[in-house]
């Protein structure tokens, strides 16, 4: 059981989110009501689910500031209204807290999905990955790349990459 002060803080945080996210959605020109619903739902999850414990105190502080600061409220709304999409270039976003920001949880979730895709050996057309197929992985060169590369949750991905990807010197040998 959580101490009563933590419950009060989480309850207060959700109250503030319900108050400031609608205006933030309007400023974001969001036409979809489900974005507002998702933002509050995702924010609640990141406050209450144990796997997000590392982010809780920062979120509590940020939402208190957002009560009186529209820039912070807008940033929080944008951080929580959706899960960051996966596009043709992978996932790209600001580094921060929430499902629409790059952070250790999103990096691990993405790596898990990649690993499962490779292990399943299927492409979009549902054809098996052959021995002639290859996967090439690279680390991001921007800030935090080392932090994400060393996230313990990425260990399974590293193992799959080691087994299925080209050797490190492959590209150099192709020049």
Output the average pLDDT for the chain: 77
The pTM for the full model equals 0.72
In percent, the amount of the chain with pLDDT more than 90 equals: 42
Q: pLDDT band at 124, cuts 50/70/90? A: low
By the 10 Å C-beta count (0-12 exposed, 13-18 middle, 19+ buried), 52 is classed as middle
Per-residue pLDDT tens digits for 82-113: 999 887 767 888 888 999 998 888 887 887 77
Q: What's the number of CA atoms in the CB half-sphere (13 Å) around residue 108?
A: 13
Apex 155 CA angle, 108 and 96, nearest 5: 25
Mean pLDDT over residues 145-156, rounded?
59
Q: Is the pLDDT of residue 168 over 60?
A: no
Q: Is the pLDDT of residue 4 over 80?
A: no
Query: Is the distance from CB of 68 to CB of 75 less than 8 angstroms?
Result: no
């Amino acid at each position: 059981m959580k101490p009563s002060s933590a419950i009060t803080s989480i309850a207060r945080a959700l109250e503030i989110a319900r108050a400031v996210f609608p205006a933030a959605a309007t400023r974001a020109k969001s036409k979809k009501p489900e974005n507002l619903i998702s933002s509050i739902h995702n924010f609640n999850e990141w406050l209450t689910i144990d796997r997000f414990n590392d982010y809780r105190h920062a979120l509590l502080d940020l939402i208190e500031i957002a009560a009186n600061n529209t820039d912070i409220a807008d940033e929080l709304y944008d951080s929580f209204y959706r899960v960051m999409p996966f596009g043709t270039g992978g996932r790209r976003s600001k580094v921060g807290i929430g499902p629409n920001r790059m952070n250790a949880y999103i990096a691990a979730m993405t790596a898990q999905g990649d690993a499962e895709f490779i292990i399943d050996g299927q492409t979009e057309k549902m054809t098996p990955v052959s021995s002639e197929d290859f996967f090439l992985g690279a680390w991001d060169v921007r800030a935090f790349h080392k932090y994400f590369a060393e996230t313990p949750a990425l260990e399974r991905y590293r193992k799959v990459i080691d087994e299925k990807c080209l050797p490190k010197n492959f590209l150099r040998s192709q020049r």
